[in-house]
A and B are shown apart, each in its own frame.
Chain A
Amino acid sequence: MDVVIENLPVLIFQGAKITLQITIISVAIGCLLGLIGGLSRLSRRKVLRFLATAYVDFFRGTPLLVQIFIVYFGIPKLLMDLQSFMVDSYGMTPVADSFALPRFLAAVIACSLNSGAYVAEIFRAGVQSIERGQMEAARSLGMTHGQAMRYVILPQAFKRVIPPLGNEFIAMLKDTSLLSVIGFAELTRNGQLIIARTYESFAIWLTVGFIYLIMTFTLSRIVDYLERRYKTGD
């Protein structure tokens, strides 16, 4: 018990705080990517649709852990090889000794790209759930497709996607634990480090789990509340 109380401040004020931070940043960027991706998937332009579909399929169809490895280990290696090639073949002067990404940046890139793919599907479904008559009414009043989207379809779709976006946030909060494998100091990683020092694996892992539970439980209550609030009124 002492070991838990002693390490609780670190777990909460370093671990859980970083976990929340990285989740908020990633889902926020993910929302932006998802809006672009989701609308692209509904676009009339084939190229856009194809690119968006490829993006969504790749990031939903591969494990986040592998995506983290690709960003953190794969990309720097690729850039390094590319530099060697340019140096050897064209006599370019090397620009860097290493292309290693800071862990934080790698974490944000991997999680945002992953989140964006899920959010794209959420937005696409949200837009498609608005009945066809809304678009027709807007267009019949002389609005362009873009105006109808902006003033009629998207405002309604945003309301409907709030609950699934909340669920995506909760899922991402848990999935950021995978960042521990690249040594990113979020909650799980902090737990690992404490156990390495104290050997109290049961007590610490239970505590770590409990902190996740408190966060996800609180969030899911908020999502429930929003869901109830927005069920009426659309």
Chain B
Amino acid sequence: MIEVKNLYKNFGKLEVLKDINCRVALQEVVCVIGPSGSGKSTFLRCLNLLEEPTAGDIYIDGINLTDKNTNINAVRQDVGMVFQRFNLFPHKTALDNVCLAPMKVKKLSRDEAEKIARELLDKVGLSDKADVYPEQLSGGQQQRVAIARVLAMRPKVMLFDEPTSALDPEMVGEVLAVMKDLAREGMTMVVVTHEMGFAREVGDRVIFMDEGRLVEEGTPEQVFGNPQNERTRTFLGKIL
């Protein structure tokens, strides 16, 4: 589903990603872990070209993102992204947040878009919040609306950048529960997270990044139970 080959990313002189290679299969859930500043967000943002790679190739569903002729807006419809800070549209209600892209990008009618939006809000447990503005929602609720907003585009892949890091502890569970449902339904997901419990339980594979390199990857059992690399052991020793 996703294939990354020799990916490099520099910010000016700073080398943030160095020779990343990896694959994500259809319906696979890959969790990315690593210390702060190791390039996890940058890696994820390269996958929908919010950051332009300095070198390398990224294929999503067979389409080469770094090819100049690729219509990036079309690709992005298939690659949803959930942000750490939710980034809901504050001037729109929860329902309109979910409806906007289907109406403007996919040209659905208001009725069609609303029908889908209500179903999705129901799915994330917020059918009673349809007409509420983001500022009146808790962090956990906002993140669930953000997930519904992405789902409304019927993406093939979903990218999550620390979706629970900005949440109060008591709200982490509700967001993780929605993500677990998605994983169970077969959504292909790449999740940058500090929730090791989630990575262990839901992840099919775990990738450990450090200083811009993909240091180690394997099943959760391998990476958490028997890490091969010294740096992985140090990192896990600090956080577990």
The interface of chain A, by Cβ under 8 A from chain B, is 133-134, 136-144, 147, 151-152, 155-156, 159, 232-234
Query: Nearest Cβ distance between residue B59 and chain A, in whole angstroms?
Result: 18
Contact (A141, B149) CB under 8 Å given A136-B87, A147-B105? yes
Task: Report how far A138 CA is from B149 CA in the complex, Å.
Answer: 10
| Bound-state Cα–Cα, A192 to B234, Å | 83
Known: A141-B76, A142-B153, A156-B90. A133 touches B83 (CB 8 A): yes
Contact: A233 with B135, CB < 8 Å?
yes
**Cβ contact of A233, chosen from B48, B73, B100, B133, cutoff 8 A:** B133
> Does the CB pair A140–B105 fall under 8 Å?
no
Contact A155–B91 (Cβ < 8 Å): yes
Among A139, A141, A144, A156, the residue within 8 A (CB) of B91 is: A156
Task: Find out whether the CB atom of A234 lies under 8 angstroms from the CB atom of B104.
Answer: no
**Secondary structure dominating the interface of A:** helix
Q: Is the CB of B76 within 8 A of A139?
A: yes
Bound-complex Cα distance A137 to B85 (A):
10
Does B101 lie within 8 Å of A142, measured CB to CB? yes
Q: Which of B46-100 contact A (CB under 8 A)?
A: 48, 50, 73-74, 76-77, 79-81, 83, 85, 87-91, 100
Q: Give, as a whole number of angstroms, the nearest-CB distance from A233 to chain B.
A: 7
Q: Which of A141, A233, A234 contacts B101 (CB 8 A)?
A: A141
Q: Which residue of B lies closest to A137 (CB)?
A: B87
If A141-B77, A159-B91 are given as contacts, then 8 extra A-B residue pairs at C-beta distance below 8 Å, sorted by A number, are A137-B83, A138-B101, A140-B80, A142-B73, A142-B105, A156-B89, A234-B90, A234-B91
Are the C-beta atoms of A133 and B85 separated by less than 8 Å?
yes
How many Å lie between the Cα of A151 and that of B97 in the bound state?
11
Cα distance A136–B85 when bound, in Å? 12
Whole-angstrom distance between the alpha carbons of A144 and B76 in the complex?
A: 10
Chain A residue at smallest Cβ distance from B96: A151
Residues of B within 8 A of A142 (CB): 73-74, 76-77, 101, 105, 153
Give 18 CB contacts A-B under 8 Å: A133-B87, A136-B83, A137-B81, A137-B87, A138-B101, A139-B50, A140-B80, A141-B77, A141-B100, A141-B150, A141-B153, A142-B101, A147-B104, A147-B105, A151-B100, A152-B100, A156-B91, A234-B91
A86 smallest CB distance to B (angstroms): 50
Write the nearest CB–CB distance from B2 to chain A, whole angstroms.
15
In the complex the two chains form, is A143's CB within 8 Å of B80's CB? no
Bound Cα distance from A143 to B97, whole angstroms = 13
Cα A142 to Cα B50 in complex, Å, equals 11
**Distance to closest chain B CB from A144 (angstroms):** 6
Is the pair A151, B87 in contact by a Cβ cutoff of 8 Å? no
Among B85, B88, B89, which residue has the most Cβ atoms of chain A within 10 A? B89
Given A151-B100, A151-B104, A233-B135; A140-B81 close (CB under 8 Å): yes
Complexed CA–CA distance, A152 and B91 (Å): 8
A225 to B87, CA, bound (A): 28
**Which residues from B are CB-within-8-Å of A137?**
81, 83, 87-89, 146
Residues of B within 8 A of A138 (CB): 89, 101
Question: Pick the contact of B73 from A133, A143, A155, A232 — CB < 8 Å?
Answer: A143
Q: CA–CA, A232 to B135, complex, Å?
A: 9
Q: Which residues of B contact A143 (CB under 8 A)?
A: 73, 101, 104-105
User: What residues on A are CB-neighbors of B73 within 8 Å?
Assistant: 142-144
Contact code string B19-53 (vs A, CB < 8 Å = 1, else 0): 00000000000000000000000000000101000
Alpha-carbon distance A201/B166, docked complex (angstroms)? 66
Partner of A136, one of B50, B74, B133, B135: B50
Give the Cβ gap from A96 to chain B, nearest Cβ, in Å: 50
Cα of A147 to Cα of B89 in the assembled complex, Å: 14
Query: Which residues of chain A have C-beta atoms less than 8 A from B88's C-beta?
Result: 137
**Residue on B with the closest CB to A158?**
B91
Residues of A within 8 A of B150 (CB): 141
A152 engages B89 (CB within 8 Å): yes
Separation in Å of the A161 CB from the closest CB of chain B? 14
A192–B48 alpha-carbon span in the complex (Å): 66
